[in-house]
Amino acid sequence: MTPEPFQREAVRRPASIKDVAAAAGVSATTVSHVLSGNRPVNEHTAARVRSVVNRLGYVPASLARSLQAGSTSVIGLLIPDISNTFFAELAKGAEDAAHDLGYGLILCNTEFDADREDRYLGMIRSRFIDGMVYASGSPPSRRRLEALMGKFPIALADEEVEGLEGALIATADHEAGGRLVGEHLRTLGHRRALMLTGPRALRSSNARANGFVRAFRGEVLELVGDFKESSGYGLVAKLLQEGGLPEDCTAVFAANDLMAFGALLALREAGLSVPEDVSVVGFDDIRAASLAHPPLTTVHQPAYDVGRTATAQLLQYVTRGEVPPASRHTLPVELKVRGSTAPAAR
Amino acid sequence: MTPEPFQREAVRRPASIKDVAAAAGVSATTVSHVLSGNRPVNEHTAARVRSVVNRLGYVPASLARSLQAGSTSVIGLLIPDISNTFFAELAKGAEDAAHDLGYGLILCNTEFDADREDRYLGMIRSRFIDGMVYASGSPPSRRRLEALMGKFPIALADEEVEGLEGALIATADHEAGGRLVGEHLRTLGHRRALMLTGPRALRSSNARANGFVRAFRGEVLELVGDFKESSGYGLVAKLLQEGGLPEDCTAVFAANDLMAFGALLALREAGLSVPEDVSVVGFDDIRAASLAHPPLTTVHQPAYDVGRTATAQLLQYVTRGEVPPASRHTLPVELKVRGSTAPAAR
DNA sequence: TTGTAGGCGTTATCAC
DNA sequence: GTGATAACGCCTACAA
């Protein structure tokens, strides 16, 4: 048996352009041009160079290339939680857009952790990446972003940032989503509802709530949650323990699907059935929504498009090298009526 | 109103270490040492330098630093589909492990596309990243990997590669998973089953099938799918159209949850109810599994741990600079019995 | 058609 | 305690 190649080769220093040049008997310049095609090279020498390149397994060091070019052709995507399918879809859109223009995408998953966010933002300050799509669902640190947006290419996805207007933004139409839910429930005859909102600091969350309250035109009890399943569960369970839902309250609108699932669980545990006793509506249309029991009525967000649009905007900025005018893309949402809503029990 | 700072600053070339040095009246060397703490600097000069650093907003260019250091402190994670929660969890584990050691993680989402895979593998060949965790669920291009593994730090996660033995591997115990399902169904009295496998080229898929067949000890009809929901649906729907399940076949084991969902749908459309008429089992335990109707009996894979372990292995390799001995971590799986399985109808 | 020289921004080495 | 200088690996004027 031959010795492990796995072990053998790992030691060698990778070939550089000089190695190739020397082995081919030409200058580094020529090698560079053979590879880039930036200027004509004698077909004969070119062939020789290429053969050496192959033999030595030479691959240009992208670091050196980037250093000299002043850009890396890589951008970042900062999100709070990749295992949330909403962000996963958004990431997919972002990656497709990046890929289309020959850019790489670094996923920056923060887990809502400020430390991580800082570290990732450092990548843009140190110019390891050419730009950043910022899609943090956490109430973002306004200060930090503000400073950065003046100096580096940044686009906001999904979530606007209070006070930062002159920016690139792609977001779903949260207000319209809330409105659709309000109309839907009203039409079904519901007159009192419980609303589980997201963090107050998030514009998207407020927009959903506002749109809903305005369209529903009934009585709404608002409880503030944090977009996690546990908070949906906790808020509803607590309410039920303390004497049940408000009288005649026959509907629950959660500002995202995860909280809706939590609410569903709490209701079920209390012996209430959905949608017979209470209707439940979510927001996002994550994959589990249609699979749940009962299938969740929810607002479909164009997560993929949000990611794709924001990224395309950013790359326009990055590739053109000039600061584009502020722009906002508000993408349409869609109400998905499923099994978790029904006419109000009387 | 003041002119947009957003527009103003974006033009300026970022300050370099030389700019700082000049402004502070010291050499670049000193600036470097003030920032790195690599050698003592007069407290007075240090303070002056720091103030200039602040004033100029100087941040060292990580590219230049990496070029000189010979490594980037960034690794890649190559996966086929980030919106599959299995890979999302795996990614989370990988990111945590990377973060712990101060490494960044580039997400390489291939969508099962060979082109993209190539492009991402290029990042390691061009040394833009220090290593790669390879978790592609697609039948991987053996050749390409083989060549790479000899020269660059690569660890395999989730999926082994046929013929590549001398490597770092972290994977779930697929065979045991299949066995658990086989025993479970057998215990419930099932004697004939339909098995929807993944691609034949995947070891993990074969291991699941083998473990199952061996433990079930009944008659098994194997149909080859591709791990997508559509294939689970298609295979079962076709079978039902062509005369129904084989006689006395009372159970379906899909090699992953997505295909199980597809099967569920096809069965439901044909008027069969789960689990009364047919029991269905999946594999992976993605989030939707417990939310589905009925909740899916499935094999829980330690996705997070697989990602974390593989990445930790890789980083040991990368940071120590030496090729470690081949190692294999087989992580335990767990059968989650839920509502989609029941004793065989007789 | 090809080569030389300089520079991208940093850090390590060596000298003072 | 501090500074020149070289080197990391590449690209691109400029020159021949």
B65-96 per-position pLDDT tens digit:
999 999 999 999 999 888 888 999 999 999 99
Nucleotide nearest to A61 (CA to C1'): D9
For residue B88, the Cα-to-chain-centroid distance in whole angstroms is 7
Q: Is A57 left (phi over 0), alpha (psi -120 to 50) or beta?
A: left
Residue B206 pLDDT greater than 90, yes or no: yes
What is the pLDDT, as a whole number, of residue A9? 42
Nucleotide nearest to B43 (CA to C1'): D1
What is the pLDDT, as a whole number, of residue A145? 81
Distance CA B32, CA B64 (A): 13
Distance CA A279, CA A281 (A): 7
- Are B75 and B133 in contact by the 8 Å Cβ rule? The answer is yes
Residue A219 pLDDT greater than 50, yes or no: yes
What is the pLDDT, as a whole number, of residue A321? 74
Which residues in chain A have their CB less than 8 angstroms from residue B298's CB? none
Per residue in B166-192, pLDDT (tens digit) is 678 899 999 999 999 999 999 999 999
Question: What are the E-state strand segments in chain A?
Answer: 74-79, 104-109, 131-134, 154-157, 168-172, 192-197, 219-224, 249-254, 279-281, 298-300, 327-331, 334-336
Work out the pLDDT band at A144, boundaries 50, 70, 90.
confident
Residue A235 pLDDT greater than 50, yes or no: yes
Distance CA B188, CA B216 (A): 11
Q: Is B115 on the interface with A (CB under 8 A)?
A: no
Residue B128 pLDDT greater than 90, yes or no: yes
Distance CA B155, CA B148 (A): 11
As beta bridge partners, residue B154 has B132
Distance CA B100, CA B199 (A): 35
Whether residue A275 is preceded by a cis peptide bond, meaning omega within 30 degrees of 0, is: yes
Give the residue from B213, B306, B85 showing the smallest Cα distance to A291.
Answer: B85
Range from A42-56, A272-286, B311-325 carrying the lowest mean pLDDT:
B311-325
* Token representation of residue B294: 């009925």
Q: Give me the mean pLDDT over the A14-38 stretch.
A: 95
Cβ partners under 8 Å of residue A22, min gap 6: none
Q: Is the CB of A114 under 7 A from strand D?
A: no
What is the pLDDT, as a whole number, of residue A302? 96
Q: Is A67 on the interface with B (CB under 8 A)?
A: yes
Per residue in B88-120, pLDDT (tens digit) is 999 999 999 999 999 999 888 888 888 888 889
Residues 13-32 of A with CB under 7 A from strand C: 25-30
CA distance A150 to chain B (A): 4
- Are B133 and B155 in contact by the 8 Å Cβ rule? The answer is yes
What is the pLDDT, as a whole number, of residue B324? 76
Distance CA A113, CA A247 (A): 40
- Residue B196 has phi, psi (to 5 degrees) of -100, 110
What is the pLDDT, as a whole number, of residue A113? 85
Q: CA Rg, chain A, in Å?
A: 27
Residue B5 pLDDT greater than 70, yes or no: no
Distance CA A319, CA A305 (A): 20
Which residues in chain A have their CB less than 8 angstroms from residue B149's CB? 6
Predicted structure pTM score: 0.88
* Inter-chain touch B59–A125, beta carbons under 8 Å: yes
The percentage of chain A sitting over the pLDDT mark of 70, rounded to a whole number, equals 93
Whether residue B294 is preceded by a cis peptide bond, meaning omega within 30 degrees of 0, is: yes
* Inter-chain touch A107–B106, beta carbons under 8 Å: yes
Cβ partners under 8 Å of residue A23, min gap 6: A52, A55, A56
Residue B148 pLDDT greater than 90, yes or no: no
Residue B142 pLDDT greater than 80, yes or no: no
Which residues in chain B have their CB less than 8 angstroms from residue A109's CB? 91-92, 95
- Count the neighbouring beta carbons within 10 Å of the beta carbon of residue B189: 14
Q: How far is the CA of B316 from the C1' of D9 (A)?
A: 26
By CB atoms closer than 10 A (0-12, 13-18, 19+), residue A254 is: buried
Q: Is the CB of A41 under 7 A from strand C?
A: yes
Interface test with A, best of B73, B83, B273 (most A CBs within 10 A): B83
What is the pLDDT, as a whole number, of residue A139? 60
* Inter-chain touch B127–A85, beta carbons under 8 Å: no
